[in-house]
Amino acid sequence: MAERTVERRPLVAGNWKMNLDHVEAIHLVQALALHLRAIEHGRLDVSIHPPFTDLRSVEGVIGADDLPITLGAQHASSYAAGAFTGEVSVAMLRRLGVQLVLVGHSERRQLFAMDDDAVAATTRAVLEGGLTPVICVGETQEQRDRGQMAEVLTAQVLAALEGVPAADSDRIIVAYEPIWAIGTGVAATEEDAQEACRLIRQVLAGARGEVADRIRILYGGSAKPENAGDLVTQADVDGLLVGGASLEAESFAAIVGATAACYGQ
């Protein structure tokens, strides 16, 4: 197994997708806070990404108890303001204490026609607004079967970086989310996750140089307590983007615990 040569602060991010209203969200965050208390997680970041309508309530709970949880969103508009019905701007999210924004999740790409240009524009908007984009990339099963994984990931990563100033390169996070592993219960093996994350780092290095060593690359797709440890021990896997297993305090906290254990706590 490749050795981890550079220390990067791991991130365990919970993507709630379109689940839990704001009342349910408050309950989950409170339960999560209780579970996290038992885990020494001072050397890693934990974020949750609830639906927009929950953000205000969740911010309140996190703020009231100063919980060690970073607030994230699942999407943002690439526009600053104006006639964009249904959209939410980066500035609006920042006002709510949001620090991380998922950009180009495969569900946005596949179900809501978010193309590479929109991913790049959103990445730039998030950075300009002072927040951190978590750029999601990943191949379909068909692309993988056709041997196109490297080509697809390279194209998606380079497209997302389009127009991102060099000085902002180390402010991005990338999440490798193979589409065939999302919500299927079948995660990538740790070897496959490492291979893809290594490739992404090489693409980042080719485009942006040494800064690639500092950029965090997450794995996402059926991450759960049972496979979290094996995944995050990989040299180029700097954390996890968790969907289904982030909807229960116990399983999400167990994933945080498994990650913390790998980082020497």
Residue 183 found at the interface with ligand PGA (CB under 6 A)? yes
Any bridge partners for residue 136, and if so which? Answer: 175
How many residues bind ligand PGA, per CB under 6 A? 13
Whether the Cβ atoms of residue 218 and residue 175 lie closer than 8 Å to each other: yes
What is the rounded CA–CA span in Å between residue 244 and residue 196?
A: 22
* Nearest alpha-carbon partner for 174 in 144, 217, 233, 232: 217
Describe the crossing of helices 225-232 and 190-208 by its angle, rounded to 10 degrees. Answer: 40
51 touching ligand PGA, by CB under 6 A: no
Least Å from the CB of residue 82 to ligand PGA: 29
Residue 177 Cβ, how far from ligand PGA at the closest point, in Å?
Answer: 6
The answer to the question of residue 194 lying near ligand PGA (CB under 6 A) is no
Among this protein's residues, is 105 annotated catalytic? yes
Shortest Cβ 3–ligand PGA spacing (Å): 27
Selected range binding ligand PGA among 73-81, 176-184, 188-196, 256-264, rule: CB under 6 A:
176-184
Q: Which of 41, 49, 75, 177 is catalytic?
A: 177
Of positions 182, 212, 215, 231, contacts ligand PGA by CB under 6 A: 182
Pick from 15, 70, 77, 89 the residue near ligand PGA by CB under 6 A.
Answer: 15
Does residue 41 carry a catalytic annotation?
no
Place of tokens 């740790």: 190
Query: 149, 241, 253, 255: which one contacts ligand PGA (CB under 6 A)?
Result: 241
Alpha carbon distance 223, 216 (integer Å): 17
Of 70-78, 153-161, 220-228, 231-239, which part binds ligand PGA (CB under 6 A)? 220-228
| Residue 147 burial by Cβ neighbours in a 10 Å radius (0-12, 13-18, 19+) | exposed
Q: Under 8 Å CB-to-CB from 147, ≥6 apart: which residues?
A: none
By the rule CB under 6 A, 137 interacts with ligand PGA = no
Beta carbons within 8 Å of 186's beta carbon, 6+ residues apart: 180, 222
Q: Judged by CB under 6 A, does residue 220 bind ligand PGA?
A: yes
Instruction: By CB under 6 A, name the binding residues for ligand PGA.
Output: 15, 177, 182-183, 220-223, 241-245
What residues are annotated to the active site? 105, 177
